[in-house]
Amino acid sequence: MPHIDNTLPIPNIITLHSLLSGNPPLRPSLRQLTEPRPLEISIASSTEYGHIEVKLGETYVSCKVSAQITSPYEDRPFEGTFAIGTEITPMCSPAFTSGVNADFSTAAPAIVPATAISVNNIDSNKEGQTSATAATNNINNNNNNNNNDNAVTMGGGAVMGLAADQAATEILLSRLIEKAVRRSNALDLESLCIIAGQKCWAVRADVRFLNYDGNLVDAASVAVITALLHYRKPDVEVIGSGEGSELVMYDEKQREMVPLSVLHIPICVTFQFFSTESVERNIKGENANSLVNNKNYIKENSDNDDDDLERMDIDNDAPRGSNEIIIVDATAEEELLSQGSMTVTLNSNKELCQISKSGGLNVDSVRILECCQIASDIVNKWTKEIKKVLAADIEKRRDLRAERVLSVVNDRSTE
């Protein structure tokens, strides 16, 4: 059984949070904050091309690339087509149900995962003040916060989390992969053209999620791009010209298969954000003072007493810097806890192909640039890994082919 569902119990949330905000910060998986899990890329079939399995810790993704000949879109006669299928099925976790995506228009206003709880609440209800409370106090003290008023809200609607928001998760995921690989022109579509306006290759990459332990996006992006690099399409030739032309396809035995023309290797790196401060503080940050002191400042909807109190508190507080905790390659558990995420897609040429941070915790621009730098290092590491695996496989297949050729020669000579 999976180790978590949407209901992360309060003790777990508190413990994880105090681990993350401790000194030094500790992740439940014992990794460094910016250290991804070990990436394992394997080639699923020793005979076929373009079937890749990627393991990122417990997250397990497979991708199969296939191609067939169709006619191109009318408005793009010189280009082949490329589609990516990313459907999340219950196969990877019972948290997901199948077929939700088919009807996302109705599913869109689905109830957001109710993972937001305030630590403040919990404490006040406890009789025996135990180490859990101590742990929260600890968080607060670290940040010189006033304990009474700092409702630490953990987990939020912006989680790339589980089932409750599956429709959103699926759409974002498929769009992310699409933007990362397709929109960034990783696959040269013009090279897929066979006869302009008539025949072209239609390449399809189908991603299957085999196990879910967080960070499906990164694993999927590696799987798709590796599969594209690995795939070989049969060689085709147009014989003759004009009306009487003929398209001949050669199979593997007749002619060497042709690799796809992949222009660069975009890889996604996802960051999750946590914060020990309240939403208010996160938004106002250092400007809190200046805003409150501003005479012209009229607060909209100021009929809420609580709100006023909080503002007072901000007034007393010293200006503070950013307190966001940023982790890379989160597990499912960490994703549930997260208050916001950002996916950055880069290639080894330090070109950003895509950034997407939709809502969630507000993060300082400096931290975002830091993230990109971290992502760049990870991308370099993973690109090397991909190339290593592919090179090893080419070597292996060459040996096999040489053996086959030799055996044919051998057969002939013994006749």
Q: Give the nearest distance from C-beta 264 to other proteins in angstroms.
A: 9
Q: Give the nearest distance from C-beta 218 to other proteins in angstroms.
A: 17
Closest to 257 (Cα-Cα) out of 12, 402, 49: 49
Options 63, 65, 152, 168; binder of other proteins; rule CB under 8 A: 168
Segment interacting with other proteins, rule: CB under 8 A, options 47-55, 63-71, 101-109, 249-257: 101-109
Each residue 315-334 as x (binds other proteins by CB under 8 A) or -, in order, gives: -------x------------
Six-digit token string for 241 = 């010209």
Q: Give the nearest distance from C-beta 353 to other proteins in angstroms.
A: 6
Q: Which is nearer to other proteins, 175 or 199 (CB)?
A: 175
Segment interacting with other proteins, rule: CB under 8 A, options 50-58, 111-119, 192-200, 403-411: 111-119
Closest to 269 (Cα-Cα) out of 2, 72, 56: 56
Q: Give the nearest distance from C-beta 243 to other proteins in angstroms.
A: 35
Q: Give the nearest distance from C-beta 187 to other proteins in angstroms.
A: 14
**3-class secondary structure, 110:** coil
Segment interacting with other proteins, rule: CB under 8 A, options 103-111, 204-212, 219-227, 233-241: 103-111
Options 184, 211, 221, 331; binder of other proteins; rule CB under 8 A: 184
Q: Give the nearest distance from C-beta 303 to other proteins in angstroms.
A: 8
CA distance 253 to 230: 18
Each residue 272-311 as x (binds other proteins by CB under 8 A) or -, in order, gives: -------xx-xxxxxx---x------x-xx--x--x----
Q: Which is nearer to other proteins, 81 or 362 (CB)?
A: 362
Q: Give the nearest distance from C-beta 332 to other proteins in angstroms.
A: 12
Contact between 263 and other proteins by CB under 8 A: the answer reads no
Contact between 183 and other proteins by CB under 8 A: the answer reads yes
Query: Which residue type does 349 have?
Result: N
Interactions with other proteins, residue window 37-66 (CB under 8 A): none
Contact between 239 and other proteins by CB under 8 A: the answer reads no
Cis peptide before 72 (omega within 30 of 0): no
**3-class secondary structure, 188:** coil
Interactions with other proteins, residue window 334-373 (CB under 8 A): 340, 342, 346, 350-365, 368-369, 372-373
Number of residues that bind other proteins (CB under 8 A): 96
Q: Which is nearer to other proteins, 185 or 198 (CB)?
A: 185
Q: Give the nearest distance from C-beta 407 to other proteins in angstroms.
A: 43
Contact between 143 and other proteins by CB under 8 A: the answer reads no
Contact between 383 and other proteins by CB under 8 A: the answer reads no
CA distance 221 to 383: 12
Options 116, 195, 210, 236; binder of other proteins; rule CB under 8 A: 116
Positive or negative CA dihedral for 123, 120, 6, 142? negative
- Please answer whether residues 330 and 214 qualify as being in contact, where contact means their C-beta atoms are separated by less than 8 angstroms: yes
CA distance 196 to 190: 10
Six-digit token string for 31 = 């990794």
CA distance 238 to 200: 12
CA distance 301 to 204: 52
Residue 199 phi, psi (nearest 5): -130, 140
Closest to 20 (Cα-Cα) out of 378, 278, 337: 337
Element (H, E) at 398: helix 365-414
**3-class secondary structure, 285:** helix
Segment interacting with other proteins, rule: CB under 8 A, options 100-108, 140-148, 199-207, 238-246: 100-108
Name 154's bridge partners. Answer: 117
Distance of CA 55 to the CA centre of its chain: 13
Segment interacting with other proteins, rule: CB under 8 A, options 74-82, 163-171, 187-195, 209-217: 163-171
- Please answer whether residues 206 and 85 qualify as being in contact, where contact means their C-beta atoms are separated by less than 8 angstroms: yes
Q: Give the nearest distance from C-beta 121 to other proteins in angstroms.
A: 8
Q: Which is nearer to other proteins, 5 or 48 (CB)?
A: 5
CA distance 43 to 45: 6
Contact between 126 and other proteins by CB under 8 A: the answer reads yes
CA distance 329 to 382: 13
Residue 302 burial (CB < 10 Å; 0-12/13-18/19+)? exposed
Contact between 33 and other proteins by CB under 8 A: the answer reads no
- Please answer whether residues 189 and 58 qualify as being in contact, where contact means their C-beta atoms are separated by less than 8 angstroms: no
Contact between 12 and other proteins by CB under 8 A: the answer reads yes
Q: Give the nearest distance from C-beta 271 to other proteins in angstroms.
A: 11
